[in-house]
Chain A
């Protein structure tokens, strides 16, 4: 069992990664704080969505527009990507030989899953447009299009960050800045999971209930 004191919530690298472990405290804590402001943003967008549920302006509503099956698959994909990301960090922490390959492999898998999520979302949104669900149609749709694509945008940004970190690993190996960056990206990745669960519950399950 790990008896070391953790310096921040989530997976701590521990004394085996002394420098990164020390630096991580302020960096990861700071990132959590930043995520909290993002939480407020998504919370308010969810509240806006709920407020505007009745503002259909005689246009299509949730039952006309949403389909549960693609949402279910997207959820599985995103949650699995969080699992693979966790595996990447675990292999970073516990790999005695500090080999790059397991870390890069898990990160690559995460990236593919994340991009798959975004691609499926894009397809869904395209289908929505075809059904007459453009954001300009009503207040309800404006609220939907602010919330769900913002989440997808966050996932895209996280994917971009992942690629940037991978490039840094290729250039510098697993040095301290790379490790702390991975810890922070992890916070973002898992946070986006949580937000997705909320969106699925409120928007899709709630809308189709």
Chain B
């Protein structure tokens, strides 16, 4: 075999025409040039961004630090931060894609500039990225950072598994990014319905990219869910019973259980589709006894609990934010915990509502419709409980509270449209229209995204030791709210007028005003994202003005606020003994906060490990090889992962001891600083006077 032949075989079905500019260069015409430029531009930004990052790291000699302090770290706080950073990067891309689609639809009367093929890829990557590579990493990162601190633990139950979960998710994200350069991605949407995604109708690599990216992500998520569940069950501080946990931990627990049980149906559905595509099986083909309806059932058996995985952590964040920023105990703790459990359980009983129009009997549809509406009851209870938490509180309208306020009002509207869709007879005229698209964005943006952005603003000081700048934060929050309203409320109208989803162009002039307004909204959303970037830049530049070393900038109620900011590696110098809910507020009110512990002990922390990064690279290699039929690469990646796991079994020196003396010194010097720092009342919390030491709101003198 010649060298050229060997190279050809090694590259599988990867060929020049995978490059985004190939079509425009070899077959230039108006459409291929415009679309080629957009696609190449996107690929170019990605490549440039990667190169710039590499250059910056090299220039400032940060590779060592990156490897030692971040990539191989098993610290849940660092892993959480990396998850959130991944989410923000993917959010940028998915927002860009949304903007291109919105622009196309604003000019899409009778045509437009975007080719149908390009549009098909855009809506598929937009959905896939937003769900699997923005929302899931964001919430996993927030839970990772916050939950162990709130239950008084030193780390999650399985720190190495935590690192591996992050690596798998990052590998999936990298695969989707690679599809910008080695095109195309799937055009089958984020749900990938066969037979459209079978080889017969999509013979290109697109659906394979989707299958392996989603599989990597779902594996990472299953492991993360298992990790979080065991942590909450087994690693709570002494005295912290389940009903003394902060509500965020209740939602984290229910989310983990949902992850454990909801990811397998997805892994199965995508694996079965892969078997169809790679080995000619007949699970979902039209021919040979395949059953595409089976895919719909399996995918949505995952898909519905998935949306509750997305929303429950946000509910937890709102509980924390609303009670803390109202200076008040959370109203209805037990109800909220029970409602969370109800929602989690009910989420497994409603999946058919995603395909009411597939021809099931009326009574079957009706049963699932009623089950769907039942979830509205515990959700409504939660909304009212949060409002009652505001009632007779002392509410500060900081950035997290602005998001919470937008959430409360916008989410119930989305819930109402959900009730409309839950009625099969109404679903028959709104299914697959923009009404549906508006509904789920209405749940996800004010629900999930605002919750995560609120979490970002709320816990950023704990992670990095300084507050975020308020003005840009407020601009971002208000722009998100206004942008969302303008971008999506018109879609409700369009859906009621019968405009289908996933449609690149339309022929009804009546749609035009709506798509134009939606475009303005998209612009406002981009501006909001820009405000977040500006906020971060300004905050880092002016961080000394906003340092909060005492660690309690908001007069927090739970344990994470009782430790320094940034949080030390070991979280708690001495594990706390918990006797009530809101333990830190109780301690502050009784004057017990910031006392020196009697005794310090050695602390055992896990050593760094390269297994995570190795599994990430190996996973990416395996997936990329599978997509492009580069079998040597796929097998190598799989063997490397396996080898790493087996080698880990022989590792014995996996723990390091931090001597008690070191802990004592760090902690006592911090306590000395605390005692020398003046406490501030709540109305000064956004001033430089706020060093993180709080007068409890209930003890504040208010004239």
Interface-facing stretch out of B94-102, B257-265, B321-329, B665-673: B257-265
Residues of chain B contacted by A105 (CB below 8 angstroms): none
Residues of chain A contacted by B234 (CB below 8 angstroms): 25-26, 29
Residues facing B in A133-181 (CB within 8 A) are 135-143, 145-146, 164-165, 167-168, 171-172, 175, 177, 181
Q: Who on chain A is nearest to B642 by CB?
A: A160
Residues of chain B contacted by A38 (CB below 8 angstroms): 264
Contacts A44-B265, A139-B283, A146-B272 given; indicate if A33 touches B229 (C-beta within 8 A): yes
The answer to whether B290 touches A55, judged by C-beta atoms less than 8 angstroms apart, is yes
CB distance from A85 to the nearest CB of B (A): 18
Give complex CA distance A88, B102 in Å: 64
The answer to whether B279 touches A135, judged by C-beta atoms less than 8 angstroms apart, is yes
The answer to whether A136 touches B265, judged by C-beta atoms less than 8 angstroms apart, is no
The answer to whether A136 touches B264, judged by C-beta atoms less than 8 angstroms apart, is no
The answer to whether A41 touches B268, judged by C-beta atoms less than 8 angstroms apart, is yes
Residues of chain A contacted by B510 (CB below 8 angstroms): none
Give complex CA distance A52, B297 in Å: 14
Is B158 an interface position by the 8 A CB rule? Answer: yes
Residues of chain A contacted by B275 (CB below 8 angstroms): 135, 142, 146
Residues of chain A contacted by B282 (CB below 8 angstroms): 55, 57, 135-139, 141-142
Is A5 an interface position by the 8 A CB rule? Answer: no
The answer to whether B158 touches A30, judged by C-beta atoms less than 8 angstroms apart, is yes
A-B contact count (CB 8 A): 114
The answer to whether A139 touches B291, judged by C-beta atoms less than 8 angstroms apart, is yes
Q: Who on chain A is nearest to B290 by CB?
A: A139
The answer to whether B264 touches A40, judged by C-beta atoms less than 8 angstroms apart, is yes
Is B646 an interface position by the 8 A CB rule? Answer: yes
Give complex CA distance A112, B233 in Å: 37
The answer to whether B230 touches A29, judged by C-beta atoms less than 8 angstroms apart, is yes
Contacts A26-B234, A29-B230, A29-B233 given; indicate if A40 touches B294 (C-beta within 8 A): no
Q: Who on chain B is nearest to A25 by CB?
A: B234
Is B298 an interface position by the 8 A CB rule? Answer: yes
Is B487 an interface position by the 8 A CB rule? Answer: no
CB distance from A66 to the nearest CB of B (A): 18
Residues facing A in B217-267 (CB within 8 A) are 222-223, 226-227, 229-230, 233-235, 260-261, 263-265, 267
Is A72 an interface position by the 8 A CB rule? Answer: no
Residues facing B in A116-143 (CB within 8 A) are 135-143
Indicate with 1 or 0, residue by residue over B144-161, a CB within 8 angstroms of chain A CB atoms.
000000000000011000
The answer to whether A142 touches B281, judged by C-beta atoms less than 8 angstroms apart, is yes
Residues of chain A contacted by B263 (CB below 8 angstroms): 37
Residues facing B in A17-76 (CB within 8 A) are 25-26, 29-30, 33-34, 36-38, 40-41, 44-45, 48, 51-52, 55-57, 59
Give complex CA distance A181, B272 in Å: 31
Is B513 an interface position by the 8 A CB rule? Answer: no
Give complex CA distance A139, B234 in Å: 44
The answer to whether A37 touches B649, judged by C-beta atoms less than 8 angstroms apart, is no
Among B235, B272, B289, B649, contact of A57 (Cβ-Cβ < 8 Å):
B289
Residues of chain B contacted by A29 (CB below 8 angstroms): 230, 233-234
The answer to whether A135 touches B281, judged by C-beta atoms less than 8 angstroms apart, is yes
Indicate with 1 or 0, residue by residue over B274-312, a CB within 8 angstroms of chain A CB atoms.
011001111101011111001000100100000000000
Among A34, A52, A181, contact of B289 (Cβ-Cβ < 8 Å):
A52
CB distance from B421 to the nearest CB of A (A): 26
Among B264, B289, B652, contact of A55 (Cβ-Cβ < 8 Å):
B289
Residues of chain B contacted by A137 (CB below 8 angstroms): 282, 288
Residues of chain B contacted by A56 (CB below 8 angstroms): 289
Is B650 an interface position by the 8 A CB rule? Answer: yes
The answer to whether B268 touches A168, judged by C-beta atoms less than 8 angstroms apart, is no
Residues facing A in B620-658 (CB within 8 A) are 646, 649-650, 652
The answer to whether B283 touches A37, judged by C-beta atoms less than 8 angstroms apart, is no
The answer to whether A181 touches B229, judged by C-beta atoms less than 8 angstroms apart, is no
Residues of chain B contacted by A48 (CB below 8 angstroms): 268, 272, 283, 294, 298
Residues of chain B contacted by A177 (CB below 8 angstroms): 649, 652
Residues of chain A contacted by B298 (CB below 8 angstroms): 44, 48
The answer to whether B272 touches A37, judged by C-beta atoms less than 8 angstroms apart, is no
The answer to whether A33 touches B230, judged by C-beta atoms less than 8 angstroms apart, is yes
Residues of chain B contacted by A175 (CB below 8 angstroms): 652
Give complex CA distance A175, B646 in Å: 17
Contacts A135-B281, A138-B282 given; indicate if A40 touches B261 (C-beta within 8 A): yes
CB distance from A150 to the nearest CB of B (A): 9
CB distance from B338 to the nearest CB of A (A): 23
Among B264, B276, B290, B649, contact of A44 (Cβ-Cβ < 8 Å):
B264
Give complex CA distance A72, B301 in Å: 34
CB distance from A107 to the nearest CB of B (A): 15
Give complex CA distance A164, B264 in Å: 27
CB distance from A137 to the nearest CB of B (A): 7
Residues of chain A contacted by B226 (CB below 8 angstroms): 30, 33-34, 37
CB distance from A177 to the nearest CB of B (A): 7
Contacts A44-B268, A142-B283 given; indicate if A36 touches B652 (C-beta within 8 A): no
Q: Who on chain A is nearest to B297 by CB?
A: A51
Residues facing A in B157-184 (CB within 8 A) are 157-158
- Interface residues of A, Cβ cutoff 8 Å to B: 25-26, 29-30, 33-34, 36-38, 40-41, 44-45, 48, 51-52, 55-57, 59, 135-143, 145-146, 164-165, 167-168, 171-172, 175, 177, 181
15 contacts between A and B (CB under 8 A): A26-B230, A30-B158, A34-B226, A37-B263, A40-B265, A41-B264, A55-B289, A135-B281, A136-B279, A136-B282, A138-B289, A142-B281, A142-B290, A167-B650, A172-B652
- Interface residues of B, Cβ cutoff 8 Å to A: 157-158, 222-223, 226-227, 229-230, 233-235, 260-261, 263-265, 267-268, 271-272, 275-276, 279-283, 285, 287-291, 294, 298, 301, 646, 649-650, 652
- Given contact pairs A48-B298, A57-B289, A136-B279, a sample of 8 additional A-B residue pairs in the complex whose CB atoms are under 8 Å apart: A40-B261, A41-B267, A59-B289, A136-B282, A137-B282, A139-B289, A165-B649, A167-B650
- Which 6 residue pairs of A and B lie closest in terms of their CB atoms, listed nearest first? A139-B289, A55-B289, A57-B289, A142-B281, A138-B289, A40-B264
